[in-house]
A and B are shown apart, each in its own frame.
Chain A
Amino acid sequence: MTPGEPSSNRASPLVRPYVLTGGRTADEVVMPPETLVRATGRSPAASFSAPSAAALSALREGISGPVFEPGDEGFAVEQAGSFGAPAHRPLAVVGARTSDDVRSAVEFAAEHGLPVAVQSTGHGNLSNTDGALLISTRRMRRLEIDRRQRSVKVAAGVIWRDVIDEAAPYRLAPVCGSAPSVGVIGYTLGGGLSPLGRTYGFSADYVRKIEVVTADGYRRLVDGDHEPDLFWAMRGGKGNFGVVTAMEFGLVDEPELYGGGLYYDGKDAEAVLRSYVRWAPLLPATMTTSIALLGSTAGLQLPGASAACPLVHLRIAHIGTVEQGSALLTPMRSVATPLLDTVAQRPFTSIAEVHEDPTTPIAADKRGGVLTELTDDTVSALLTTMNTSAKPVLFVELRQLGGAFHRYGSDIGSVGHRDAAYSVYVVSAPIDAGSSVSGSTRLLEAIAPWAAGGVPVNFLGSANAPADVARAWDADTHHRLIGIKQAWDPDNMFRFGYPLIAPPRQVSPEAAELLRRCQEATSVAELAASLGLPLGVVRVLLADLVEAGMVNTYRFDPERAADTQLLGEVLDELRKRV
């Protein structure tokens, strides 16, 4: 190279011989030596080593249920759950039979610094549990109805079907989910948008007591009088606070149910949806409705349906007489001729007929949101995206909120977005290698003008990073939840599913030393000199720490080199020194 020739294209054959953990080289890290670095306060994961075989066999002995390790027969089934969660590789799966089993497992995890995941039916979107201790609660199916108190106490693995069937002889019913095969606990911790919700509110609103094993290994009974903050947080804050071993919640008198579904041909979609837009807001709180578009791959074959169009499925649950219910439904029955009409007076035990949710798991990208209103334009945006998207949308569902969903009060939990007008939930083919955006993301973008920006926590679907999870509440509620989380689970043991806090990362000893040295803002050059490490090494370490959110860097914006005010300040300060 000729001296004096700025080598902006870096023609030199010399490079900095370091690579980032992500595979980038040090030359790609733009971090001039004067860049200031300051720790954010987020700490790295405490280092832990996997428990020894002896420790694991001690765990086995302390658990009344089975313990599966990778390679054991039954591990895959237990790990995947009945809803076919993706294959991860937890350190072990504890098939808990009792709350003591749960407590032993949590104690074991605490002792070894392991994160803990919990699963019953696996309807939640469990994030990668590699290396974690997975507690499977599906063996814990005990439940007790208290007829006098009109309540039920359910163990961790009870599903809605169990409660519906056990309560029916007492002419009682739970404010349950649309799919009876779903586990009660996970559903209720997320609030629970019941198909009876406009009449009765959220499932979480009925919770009276929660028995939970917290991260310190203690089993606690929380309610309005005992750990009220925790009780508040758990009714809507999902699985962030502990492992629920049992829950007691109120039942309602068996509702006089007039319910079912109306299926319309796809060619009538626009007319039906436009009618729904006008009809739904006038409904009394005795009727809860939702409307879904079922993509062509929904698997539901109805005679006379146009092949290529999505089916429209209107779901009705009216609590009251047949006469009242059918009068309310008349406009929707006449807007187009339904291909199938199952709305009728029916026993509460057949509540599943209202939604007819699919019971077979599919690999899909699932996302949700809430809407402030539903208009003709929303319908057009929905249908256009549904019919034209290159990324097929399999399913879109709008649930009408309002009514008792809208109830606020000091006695209710942390369920977010109670004032939204509709929830939306979209299922599309998973993101493949060729694209970065799924059909469900596209559809939510299309209806964004009517969205409130939030999402019910149970409808977060595939969006389970803490930044996504934060959208399940308003900022104040989220902030309060974070505070309670930090008080009860300071090491973030419960970080799967829909975590409030991102898991800490482990860092190398050099990076840990760097973190210690940049509690106050310190330049890259000083850090390198004081650690005796080459600049390139320090840049690489820092780039990884920045990515992990553990340090912030403050670079000088070259544009500011000509900033008169800044130069003036520098000049003034230098002049004071002579």
Chain B
Amino acid sequence: MNSASEFEPMRGRPHDDGEPTPVKIVVSGGFGVGKTTFVGAASEIAPVRTEEVLTDRSVGVDDLSGTVDKATTTVAMDFGRISLREQLVLYLFGTPGQQRFWFMWDDLVRGAIGAVILVDTRRLIDSFPVIDYFERTNIPFVIAVNGFDGDFPYAHEHLREALALDARRPMVDCDARDTTSATRTLIAVVEHALANRHTAAPVPAPGRNG
């Protein structure tokens, strides 16, 4: 223990060598689309899951020591980490799937530099509400078509049409199990965020019927 740091921190603390910066990218998509797999592939650590415990507001709040009773629900979130350089760490968070927890997404996407929306071409309809959600935020996002076993049967233009996406919305193919592929997808997100930076207005959302 550095004893010089015991006193009231009035002037800078001696062993505060610069402020670390956490950045994050959110990985979203419909249920079972491969979010957990993607986060695990891109992450330098084994995929980790953290939990948020929620309770019905009407039950009231319990104290820390209180036991988790029947009125509570546990929501799991996958996350991963990529240490980019000293003091710069990228975190990946998979959005919790069930729709009733979407209010938690607001917390999660706040401050994200971008998002990946994974799409399974066999279940496009599952992606609609997710895309709707992100279009209503200002978070730059890319559509990543998760081709299982390198299988990408549909051309991007068809998917774009089916998903009612603007022509400028980036779309990439990826294999959620593959580290390089997942990393390339993240690169696409950051590139888009940089490009988006120059065309400040969010991409308008055409009508979409789920």
Q: Which residues of A contact B (CB under 8 A)?
A: 1, 3-8, 10-19, 25, 32-36, 38, 40-43, 466-467, 470, 475, 482-483, 485-486, 490, 492, 500-502, 508, 521, 523, 525-526, 528-529, 534-537, 540-541, 549, 552, 554-558, 560-562, 564, 566-571, 573-575, 577-578
Contact = CB atoms under 8 A, between A and B. Distances in A.
29 contacts: A1-B103, A3-B102, A4-B129, A7-B102, A7-B106, A10-B103, A13-B58, A15-B55, A17-B55, A17-B61, A32-B111, A33-B50, A33-B77, A33-B108, A34-B23, A41-B1, A43-B1, A43-B6, A525-B77, A525-B91, A528-B50, A540-B64, A556-B22, A556-B23, A558-B111, A561-B113, A571-B191, A574-B84, A578-B180
Contact of A570 (B84, B108, B139): B84
Interface in B119-141: 128-130, 132-133, 136-137, 139
Given A38-B20, A561-B113, A18 B108 contact: no
Contacts of B64: 18-19, 508, 537, 540-541
Contact of A16 (B53, B85, B129): B53
Given A13-B56, A528-B50, A569-B88, A475 B107 contact: no
Contacts of B193: 561-562, 567
A42 B193 CA distance: 39
Interface stretch (B144-152, B155-163, B168-176, B182-190): B182-190
A501 B8 contact: yes
A567 B21 CA distance: 12
B91 A34 contact: yes
A317 B194 CA distance: 74
Contacts of B1: 41, 43
Given A15-B55, A554-B19, A42 B6 contact: yes
A557 B62 CA distance: 31
A133 B163 CA distance: 73
Bin the interface of chain B by size: 35 or more
A567 B58 CA distance: 43
Contacts of A13: 56-58
A536 B74 CA distance: 11
Contacts of B111: 32, 34, 555-558, 561
Interface string B170-210: 00000000001001101100110110010000000000001
Nearest to A576: B84
Given A502-B8, A540-B64, A561-B112, A1 B50 contact: no
Given A16-B53, A33-B93, A525-B48, A578 B183 contact: yes
Nearest to B205: A4
Contacts of A549: 8-9
B79 A3 contact: no
B13 A41 contact: yes
A373 B63 CA distance: 55
B41 to A, nearest CB: 12
Nearest to A500: B7
Given A33-B91, A38-B20, A508-B64, 6 more contacts: A6-B105, A18-B61, A554-B20, A561-B112, A561-B193, A578-B184
A17 B72 contact: yes
A431 B10 CA distance: 26
Given A3-B129, A554-B19, A17 B66 contact: yes
Contacts of B50: 33, 525, 528-529, 534-535
A535 B78 CA distance: 12
B189 to A, nearest CB: 9
Contacts of B8: 466-467, 470, 501-502, 549
Nearest to B53: A534
Contacts of A32: 24, 107-108, 110-111
B51 interface: yes
A467 B22 CA distance: 30
Contacts of B72: 17
